[in-house]
Amino acid sequence: MVLVYAESPKGKFKKSAFEAVTYGHKTAQVLGTQCVALTLGDTENAGQLGKYGAAKVVSVGDAALNNFDSQVHAAVIADAAKAVGASVIVVSHSSSGKALLGRLAARMDAGSVSAAKAVPTNDGAFKVKTNVFSGKAIAEYQINSANKVLSLMGNAIQPEEVGGDVAVEAISVAVPASRVTIKEVKTVEGTVPLPEAELVVSAGRGMKGPENWGIIEDLAATLGATTACSRPVADTGWRPHHEHVGQTGVAVRPNLYIAAGISGAIQHLAGVNSSKVIVVINKDPEAPFFKAADYGVVGDLFDVVPALNEALKAYKATS
């Protein structure tokens, strides 16, 4: 049995949870077994996970689980796996999923793969691919243990509807007391967080100053994209640190990454090279970023970005 932990922050599933269930369903097919989804804490409409291939949903509704603590969550997930007879566990490669992955692997003495990017194969050996060297290479891992834990890279596969809602069964699992007290949560509301964003508009030092960011925000608004920036821009305080994309910042994997006025240092590329399509706007035709780009525009971003925004508005008006 494959058990998928479907995260429900503030009671709601995000797209990453549906991706994880789709992935769990496909993994179960490879192994010739079934996929069960697990929800923890308050969850709205958990039965919908059936649409993405969960044969059933089990839930531990204890409100203490609304606050994330990897120690508590890992204990509950491992016990739930035992209760449903699952030997393979799938979590999202989110901030919580990354903390859970290691804990679950250690707890279950399981081989694990972090940020899996493709459905496993099982021709004599169980193998899963993931990016390594900050996206500069791909490694295929082989897991030799009976228990296996995988975290699924965001946007690696798309949710697929294969069925309808299923029954939700409450299961009884002991919830240990947490030793971590959450004092405060500060999140930016209204925009999709960068690690999950499918469309990103990013800008760098070519912007000349923070007062010029209006054209980037306008373009992002037209697209419904999340804004991002390069490291020097965050370091000089032009933009907040959570927008910094790169080796030491956030790694993004959107469908579309538009970079304006970013030269494309190797450390920046390490954060964006999982993007499906990259558009680079730079007045310097020698900017290294063009080598990593699918589409390039050599020109002054102060002309090109507003022109692109107008062209997009015209496109949106007719489609």
Considering the complex, state which of residue 106 and residue 221 has its C-beta at the smaller distance from other proteins: 106
Considering the complex, state which of residue 47 and residue 135 has its C-beta at the smaller distance from other proteins: 135
Backbone angles phi, psi at 314, to 5 degrees: -65, -40
Task: Please compute Rg for the chain using Cα positions.
Answer: 21
How is residue 227 written in tokens?
A: 């804004």
Binding flag, residue 232, other proteins (CB under 8 A) = no
Considering the complex, state which of residue 53 and residue 254 has its C-beta at the smaller distance from other proteins: 254
Length of the chain: 319
Which of these ranges, 23-31, 164-172, 204-212, 240-248, lies near other proteins under the rule CB under 8 A? 240-248
Alpha-carbon distance 215 to 292, whole Å? 24
Site for other proteins in 188-227 (CB under 8 A): 188, 191-196, 199, 223
Binding flag, residue 187, other proteins (CB under 8 A) = yes
Alpha-carbon distance 146 to 35, whole Å? 17
Binding flag, residue 94, other proteins (CB under 8 A) = yes
Q: Is the dihedral of CA 300, 306, 312, 314 positive or negative?
A: negative
Binding flag, residue 290, other proteins (CB under 8 A) = yes
Site for other proteins in 157-186 (CB under 8 A): 179-186
59 beta partners: 39, 170
Alpha-carbon distance 201 to 275, whole Å? 12
Which of these ranges, 28-36, 38-46, 162-170, 273-281, lies near other proteins under the rule CB under 8 A? 273-281
Alpha-carbon distance 109 to 271, whole Å? 31
Considering the complex, state which of residue 170 and residue 277 has its C-beta at the smaller distance from other proteins: 277
Q: What's the closest the beta carbon of residue 56 comes to other proteins, in angstroms? A: 27
Considering the complex, state which of residue 56 and residue 127 has its C-beta at the smaller distance from other proteins: 127
CB atoms within 10 A of CB 291: 10
Answer for which of 132, 167, 170, 221 binds other proteins (CB under 8 A) is 132
